[in-house]
Amino acid sequence: MNALEKNNIQLGYIPLLDCTAILWAHEKGYFAEQGLNVKLVKEPSWASLRDRLAFGILDAAHCLSAMLPAAATGGDHLGIPLQTSLVLSTTRAYISLSQKICFDTGITQALNPQESAHRIVQWIQDGAKVQLAHVFTQSLHHYCLREWLALADENIAKSYRLSSLPPPYMVEAVSAHLIDGFCVGEPWNIQAQIQGHSQIIAESRQIIPEIADKVLATTQVWAKEHPNTLQAIKEAIQRAQQEISNMQSLQPVWQMLEQYEIIRFSCSEQIYVEQFHKLQSIIRSFGCQLPPKLQDFIWIMRQMMKWEDLKLEEQQVAAFASQCIS
C-alpha cells in the first residue's frame, strides 16, 4: 500500500439513500482498513456542502454531479474546480405533487409525464399558484423539473420560478403547504407519500437520461496533493458498493439508515410493503457503478446552457466537461 498523504478525513454527505455506500464503508470499518480515520459530516444543505468542500473544510464529499461543471465554468460563483473518479448513483429522483393538487387536476401515477405536465401547466395557465421545488440550482432535479414542464410548454418551463430546498426539508415544506410539489431523491418522496402529504407522479428516468447523479468529489488541488489518500477512500467505498450489490438481505443496511435518520418512517415487509421493496431495490441500485463518463457532464453543461443561460462554444463544453473527471 502506498503511503497516505493524509489520514484524518472529513467526508461530507447529505441524508439520502445514495450516500449508503459511504455510510456502509464507515460502518464496516473499510476506511479504517485503508489506514483512514474518516469523520462523516452530515451537511444541512447542498450549498453548505459545496462551500465547505471548495474551501477545504471537507476533504471529500457526496456531491451532486452538476456541481462539478458549475465549478469548472464559475457558474457556482466560487470557481474552485472539483473533480470525481467515482459515481455513487445515477438518475433516481422522483417528482411528487401535493395530494390536493393531484385530486384537483386528476393527475395520477397512471399518466405519463407528458400528460401530467400538460395538466399542471393548464392549471397554472388557469391562474393557479403552484410552487415547485428542487434541491439545488445545479442539479439533475432542477433540470428534470424544467424538462418535465417543457413537455407541455417550453416558455413556462423556462420562466417559471422554482424554489430550492435541502432534501430532508421537502416533507416538512409540503406538509406545511409552503410548496406544492418537488423533485428529490429517496427516501423523501416515499416518506411524504406515506404520511399523506403528496403523491409520486413521475420518475426522473422517464424524463431525462440515466446519467451520474451523485459522485464522490474533491477539489482538483486536493486530489493532486493526496492521490494515495483519494485512492484509499475510493477503494473503501467501492468495497461497500460491491458488498451492497451482493447482499442477500439488506436488513443491516436498513438498520444503519434508520440509525442515521435517513429512513424516518415505518416501512417493512409487513407495513407499506410495496414502498419497502421499492426502497430495497433503489438501495441495491447504488451498488457497483460504472466510472464517470464525459458524456454525462456534457449533457449537464448543455442543460446549464438551456436553462441557466450559460454561454459556451461547443469546444468549451467538452473541455470543461473533461475537467470534471480525474
Grid cell digits, residue 59: 476533504
Q: What is the number of other CB atoms lying within 10 angstroms of the CB of residue 244? A: 20
Q: What is the number of other CB atoms lying within 10 angstroms of the CB of residue 195? A: 13
Q: Does residue 174 share a domain with residue 31?
A: no
3-50 confidence digits (pLDDT tens): 999 999 999 999 999 999 999 999 999 999 999 999 999 999 999 999
Which pLDDT band, with edges at 50, 70 and 90, does 252 fall under? Answer: very high
The 3-state DSSP class for residue 168 equals coil
pTM over 0.85: yes
Note whether residue 231 is domain-resident: yes
Q: Does residue 218 share a domain with residue 319?
A: yes
Q: Does residue 299 share a domain with residue 243?
A: yes
Residues 6+ apart with CB under 8 A from 275: 190, 193, 194, 267
Q: How high is the pLDDT of residue 75?
A: 86
The 3-state DSSP class for residue 90 equals strand
Note whether residue 268 is domain-resident: yes
pLDDT at 156 over 90: yes
pLDDT at 279 over 90: yes
Range of the domain at 111: 94-206
Note whether residue 3 is domain-resident: no
Q: Looking at 168-219, list the stretches that DSSP marks H as alpha helix, in order from N- to C-terminal side.
A: 169-175, 188-194
* Residue 123: CATH number of its domain: 3.40.190.10
* Average pLDDT value for the chain: 96
**Beta-carbon-side half-sphere exposure of residue 164 (alpha carbons within 13 Å):** 11
pLDDT at 227 over 70: yes
Q: How high is the pLDDT of residue 195?
A: 97
The 3-state DSSP class for residue 95 equals strand
**Beta-carbon-side half-sphere exposure of residue 8 (alpha carbons within 13 Å):** 1
The 3-state DSSP class for residue 152 equals coil
Q: How high is the pLDDT of residue 145?
A: 98
Q: What percent of the chain has pLDDT over 90?
A: 97
d(CA 146, CA 143): 5
Q: How far is CA 37 from CA 41, 147, 186, in A?
A: 13, 42, 28
Residue 281, exposed/middle/buried by CB under 10 A (0-12, 13-18, 19+)?
A: exposed
Q: Does residue 180 share a domain with residue 118?
A: yes
Q: Does residue 199 share a domain with residue 129?
A: yes
Place of cell 410539489: 181
pLDDT at 2 over 90: no
31-45, 195-209, 309-323, range with the lowest pLDDT: 309-323
Grid cell digits, residue 85: 473518479
Phi, psi of 241 (to 5 degrees): -60, -45
Note whether residue 1 is domain-resident: no
Q: How high is the pLDDT of residue 76?
A: 87
**Of the residues 206, 227, 250, the one at which a domain ends:** 206
Q: Does residue 247 share a domain with residue 108?
A: no
Q: Does residue 192 share a domain with residue 274?
A: no
**Of the residues 206, 223, 238, the one at which a domain ends:** 206
Q: How high is the pLDDT of residue 79?
A: 86
d(CA 129, CA 144): 20
Tally of domains within the chain: 2
Note whether residue 283 is domain-resident: yes
Grid cell digits, residue 236: 473503501
pLDDT at 1 over 70: no
Grid cell digits, residue 32: 479504517
Q: Does residue 319 share a domain with residue 217?
A: yes
Q: What percent of the chain has pLDDT over 70?
A: 100
**Of the residues 166, 189, 206, the one at which a domain ends:** 206
- Are 286 and 253 contacting, i.e. CB atoms less than 8 angstroms apart? no
Q: Does residue 200 share a domain with residue 148?
A: yes
The 3-state DSSP class for residue 185 equals coil
Q: Does residue 215 share a domain with residue 87?
A: yes
pLDDT at 148 over 80: yes
Note whether residue 221 is domain-resident: yes
Q: What is the number of other CB atoms lying within 10 angstroms of the CB of residue 94? A: 23
Q: Does residue 81 share a domain with residue 100?
A: no
SS in 3 state form for 214-256? EEEEEEHHHHHHCHHHHHHHHHHHHHHHHHHHHCCCCHHHHHH
120-124, 157-161, 256-260, 309-313, range with the lowest pLDDT: 309-313
Q: Does residue 273 share a domain with residue 242?
A: yes
Note whether residue 172 is domain-resident: yes
**Beta-carbon-side half-sphere exposure of residue 165 (alpha carbons within 13 Å):** 22
